[in-house]
Structure 1
Amino acid sequence: MTRLLEFLGNHWMMAGALLVVTVLLIQDLLESLFRKHKVLTPAGAVQLMNTEDTLVVDVREPAEFAEGHIEGAYHIPLGKLEERASEIAQYKEKPVIVTCQQGTRSPSACKTLTKQGFSRIYEMRGGMLAWRDAHYPVTRKRKKS
């Protein structure tokens, strides 16, 4: 026990870093256990889109959406999602894939849609950056808005 205390005293920065990383890992584990939506990769999103009637909701800002998006994606900026969720109400029982730029806004959007009664919500991990990194196609056409 005294050797452990001596080690911690001599290497307090490493011990502090270990504590921070441990807390963050536990937080991530608890969050993943209690979230009500599923997370999938771009490849998983393509598979789901090819097998079921799936809606892709892009929650990025208009300028980001205009730079390129998934073909057929429905654009609702995150700040307007709660008030505009009724526009996609016909998908409450169908798969809805939510994407953003990097995957940081999607979890909030998934929580909002879950609260609105959507039952099959999927968060695309990594957002459009991961989609492009996987070399999947993007379009600049505005079909839906």
Structure 2
Amino acid sequence: MDFILQNWYWIVAAAVSGSMLLWPTLSGAARGVSASEAVLLINRQKAVVLDVRSEEDYLAGHIVGSRRLDPSADLEASGLLPKDKDRPVLLVCQTGTRSRPVVGRISKLGYTQVSTLSGGLKAWTEASMPLEQGAPAPAIKGNRPGKAAR
């Protein structure tokens, strides 16, 4: 008992430190994925990539195939979320912090695999991953990739 009384501040510090480490897990915070994990999600599971940065930043350079999502927009009305709620959704911002609140909003809509890119586009470019500039090419409805329009 004397040990506890003499070292109560160390015990409190350990408890606070431990709770801070567990908080993201217990609060359901956004799952962050690395650039290499993001590539696997995109290529193998056809993840929908949504960029929540400003339009100017998006046009200056974004992940190939990503779409810009205004984080304050009505997510369901945006038409950017997949119909299949089990399809992975990957959110991207500049450093990985602005996309986290949007992860929660999308998860509340019933989407089961919502992630954010850890470190954001900064980490993506540091990993030498490709970017495209300008607006993405519009999809042609009814055509499959590799098929010419008639």
| Structure 2 match to 1:27 | 23
TM value normalised by structure 1: 0.74
Gap runs ≥5 in structure 1: none
1:141 maps onto 2:134 in alignment: yes
Aligned partner (choices 55, 60, 73) of residue 67 of structure 1: 60
How far is 1:90 from its partner?
A: 2.5
Deviations 1:80-127 (A, max 9, x none): 253644442424331111111111122211111111222221221111
| Structure 2 match to 1:40 | 33
| Structure 2 match to 1:50 | 43
Q: Is the 8 A contact 1:110 1:122 kept in 2?
A: yes
CA distance in 2, matches of 1:71, 1:2: 62
Runs of 4+ residues deviating >6 angstroms: 1-8, 14-20
User: Which residue identity lines up with residue 136 of structure 2 in the other structure?
Assistant: K
Gap runs ≥5 in structure 2: 139-150
Distance 1:53 1:23, change over 3 A: closer
Identity over aligned pairs, percent: 26
| Structure 2 match to 1:103 | 96
CA distance in 1, matches of 2:47, 2:137: 14
Question: Once structures 1 and 2 are overlaid, which stretch shifts more, 14-23 or 52-61?
Answer: 14-23
User: Which residue identity lines up with residue 130 of structure 2 in the other structure?
Assistant: P
CA distance in 1, matches of 2:89, 2:23: 26
How far is 1:132 from its partner?
A: 0.9
CA distance in 1, matches of 2:90, 2:96: 12
CA distance in 2, matches of 1:96, 1:29: 19
Give SS of 1:98's match. strand
Distance 1:119 1:85, change over 3 A: farther
Distance 1:5 1:111, change over 3 A: same
CA distance in 2, matches of 1:120, 1:24: 24
The number of aligned residues is 138
